[in-house]
Amino acid sequence: MTKYVIKRLFSGLITIFLVFVINFILIHIAPGDPVSVMMGKDNNDPELRAALMAKYGLDQPLYVQFYRQLTTTIRGDLGDSYIYSRPVVDMIAEKIGPTLLLVFPSALIALIIGAAMGILSARHEGSVIDVIFSGLTYILNAMPSFWLGLMLIILFATRLNLLPSSGMIDVRAGYTGFRYILDVLRHLALPLGTLVLINIPYYYRIAKSSVLQVTNEEFITTFRATGMSERKIFNKYVFKNAILPVVTVFGITMAFLISGVTLIETVFAWPGTGRLTLTAINQRDYTVLMGMYLVVSVMVALTMIVVDIVYALLDPRIRY
Amino acid sequence: MSETVLSIDNLCVTYKNRQKKVYAVKNASFSIEKGDAVGIVGESGSGKSTLAMALLRLLPARTAEVTGKADFLGRDLLTVDDKALADLRWKELSVVFQKAMSSFSPVHRIGEQIEDIYRVHTPNAQKGEAKERAVELLKLVNLGDRVWRLYPHELSGGMLQRVAIAMSLLFNPRLLIMDEATTALDVVTQGQLLNEIKHMEETLDMTRIMITHDMSVVAASCNKVVVMYAGDIVEVGPVKKVLKTPAHPYTQGLLGSFPSLKGETHALRAIPGSIPDLSQQYNECIFAPRCPHATEACRKARPEPVQVGEGWSSRCVLCGGGKA
Amino acid sequence: MKLIKKILRTIKSDRLLLAGCIGICILLFIVVAAPLITEYDAKLFGPDALVAPGDPAHPLGTNHLGQDIWSMLIYGTRTSLMVAVVASFISALLGIIIGGIAGFFGGWADRIISELINVFLMIPTLFLVLLIVAMFGSSILNIMIVIGLTSWPSNAKLMRAQALSLRERTFVKSAQAMGENRRQILMKYIIPNGVFPVVANTTVGMANAILLEASLSFLGLGDPTVISWGQMVYDGKQYLTSAWWIAAFGGVAICLTLLIFYMTGDGLNHVLNPKHGKAGE
In this complex, which chains have at least 3 CB pairs below 8 Å with chain C?
A, B
Residue A262 located in a structural domain: no
Q: Are residues A178 and A276 in the same domain?
A: no
Phi then psi dihedrals of residue B17, to 5 deg: -130, -170
pLDDT in tens, A34-56: 777 777 666 677 777 777 777 77
Cβ–Cβ gap A142/C236 under 8 Å: no
Q: Do residue A195 and residue A279 come from a single domain?
A: no
Q: What's the pLDDT score for residue A43?
A: 67
Q: Is C276 in the B-facing interface, judged by CB distances under 8 Å? A: no
What pTM, to 2 d.p., does this model score? 0.83
pLDDT at A224 over 50: yes
Domain-located, residue A264: no
Confidence of residue A143 (pLDDT cuts 50, 70, 90): very high
Report which of C25, C73, C108 is spatially closest to residue C247, judged by C-alpha positions: C73
User: Cα–Cα distances in Å, from B231 out to A196, B67, B209, B280, B281?
Assistant: 53, 14, 17, 12, 11
One domain for residues A20 and A152: no
Residue C230: closest C-alpha in chain A: A147
The answer to whether residues A43 and A60 belong to one domain is yes
Band of pLDDT at residue B287, cut at 50, 70 and 90:
confident
Q: Looking at per-residue confidence, does B168 or C39 come out higher?
A: B168
Closest CA to B133 of B91, B90, B171: B171
With an 8 Å Cβ cutoff, are A147 and C134 in contact? no
d(CA C66, CA C60) in angstroms, rounded, equals 12
Q: How confident is the model at residue A198 (pLDDT cuts 50, 70, 90)?
A: very high
Q: Which of A214, A238, A212, A249 is nearest to A114 (CA)?
A: A249
Q: A53 and A120: one domain?
A: no
> pLDDT-derived band of residue B270, with 50, 70 and 90 as boundaries?
low
What number of C-beta contacts closer than 8 Å exist between A and C? 131
- For residue A21, what are the contacts with CB-CB under 8 A and spacing of at least 6? none
Q: Kindly indicate the confidence band of residue A296, based on its pLDDT and cuts at 50, 70 and 90.
A: confident
CATH of the domain at A244: 1.10.3720.10
Confidence of residue A115 (pLDDT cuts 50, 70, 90): very high
Nearest CA in chain A to C257: A142
Cβ neighbours of residue A6 closer than 8 Å, sequence gap 6 or more = none
Q: Look at residue A130 and tell me if it is in a domain.
A: yes
A263 domain residue, yes or no: no
- Comparing CA positions, the residue from C175, C10, C190 lying closest to residue C100 is C190
pLDDT of residue A193: 93
Task: Tell me the shortest Cα–Cα distance from A226 to chain C, in angstroms.
Answer: 23
Domains of chain C, CATH where assigned: 2-43+59-276 (1.10.3720.10)
Contact C122 A258 (CB under 8 A): no
Residues A291, A239 within the same domain:
no
Q: Nearest CA of chain A to the CA of C40: how many Å?
A: 25
Band (B271; pLDDT cuts 50, 70, 90) = low
Q: Within 10 Å of residue C132's Cβ, how many Cβ atoms?
A: 22
Among A266-280, B5-19, B66-80, B176-190, which stretch is predicted with the lowest mean pLDDT?
A: B176-190
- Reduce the DSSP state of residue B120 to 3 states and report it: helix
All residues of chain A having their beta carbon less than 8 Å from the beta carbon of residue B89 are 225-227
Reply yes or no on whether the pLDDT at B320 is more than 70.
Answer: no
**Which residues 284-303 of A have a C-beta within 8 angstroms of C?**
284, 286, 289-290, 292-293, 296-297, 300-301
A51 lies in the same domain as A151: no
CA distance B46 to chain C (A): 10
Residue A118's pLDDT band, with cuts at 50, 70 and 90, is very high
Enumerate the residues of chain B whose CB falls inside 8 A of the CB of residue C13. Answer: none
- Which positions in chain A touch C207 (Cβ < 8 Å)? 142
In a domain, A260, yes or no: no
Domain ranges of chain B: 247-324
B63 contacts C281? CB cut-off 8 A: no
Q: Which of B63, B107, B175 has the highest number of chain A CBs within 10 A, making it the mutation to test binding with A?
A: B107
DSSP B205: T
Instruction: Identify any residues that bridge with B226 across adjacent strands, giving them in sequence order.
Output: B40, B236
* Burial tier of B71 (Cβ tally within 10 Å: 0-12, 13-18, 19+): middle
Contact A293 C128 (CB under 8 A): yes
pLDDT at B1 over 50: no
Is B58 at the interface with chain A, CB within 8 A? yes
Percent of chain B past pLDDT 90, that is, above it, reads 1
Minimal Cα distance from C128: which residue of A?
A: A293
Residues 216-255 of A with CB under 8 A from C: 255
Chains in contact with chain A (at least 3 beta-carbon pairs closer than 8 A): B, C
Same domain, yes or no, for A78 and A108?
A: no
Establish if A114 belongs to a structural domain: yes
Burial A6-30 (b: 16+ CB within 10 A, else e): eebeebbebbbebbbebbbebbeeb
Residue among A289, A69, A298, A277 nearest C135 (CA): A289
CA of B17 vs chain C CAs: smallest distance (Å): 7
- Helix, strand, or coil here: B31? strand
Compute the nearest-CA separation of C272 from chain B (Å). Answer: 21
Number of domains in chain A: 2
Q: Does A143 touch chain C (CB under 8 A)?
A: yes
Is A240 in contact with B105 (Cβ distance < 8 A)? yes
Provide the residue range defining the domain that includes A298: 1-89+272-320
Q: B13, B17, B275: which to substitute to probe chain C, counting the most C Cβ within 10 Å?
A: B17
**Contact criterion met (CB < 8 Å) for B20 and C280:** no
How far apart, in whole angstroms, are the C-alpha atoms of residue C40 and residue A251? 47
Q: How far is B102 from chain A (nearest CA, A)?
A: 6
Q: Which of A227, A240, A316 sits opposite B89 (nearest CB)?
A: A227
Q: Does A9 touch chain C (CB under 8 A)?
A: no
Q: Clarify whether residues A83 and A111 are in a common domain.
A: no
pLDDT in tens, chain C (281 residues): 777 888 888 777 788 888 888 999 998 988 888 777 777 777 777 777 777 777 777 777 777 777 888 888 888 898 899 999 999 999 999 999 999 888 888 888 888 888 888 888 877 788 888 888 888 888 899 899 999 998 899 899 999 988 888 887 778 778 877 877 878 888 888 888 888 888 888 888 999 999 999 999 888 888 888 888 988 898 888 888 888 888 888 889 999 999 999 999 888 888 877 554 333 32
Q: Is the dihedral of CA C167, C170, C171, C175 positive or negative?
A: positive
Residues A43 and A180 in one domain: no
Query: Is A19's Cβ below 8 Å from some Cβ in C?
Result: yes
Residue A265 lies in a domain: no
In a domain? residue A122: yes
State whether A229 and B108 contact (CB < 8 Å): no
CB distance A142–C258 less than 8 Å?
yes
**Predicted pLDDT at A319:** 61
Q: Scanning every residue of chain B, which has its alpha carbon at the shortest distance from the alpha carbon of C280?
A: B15
Half-sphere exposure for C276 (CA within 13 Å, toward CB): 10
Residues of C in contact with A146 (CB under 8 A): 215, 218, 233
| C88 vs C154: CA distance, rounded Å | 11
The shortest C-alpha distance from B79 to chain A (Å) reads 16
Give the nearest partner residue to A225 out of B58, B108, B153, using CB atoms: B58
How many C-beta neighbours within 10 Å does residue A118 have?
Answer: 29
Look at A217 and B102 and tell me if their CB atoms are within 8 Å: yes
Cα(C116)–Cα(B249) distance, integer angstroms: 61
- Where is pLDDT greater, at B264 or C200? C200
Nearest to B200 by CA among B168, B158, B156: B168
Q: Provide the shortest C-alpha distance from residue C276 to chain B (in Å).
A: 13
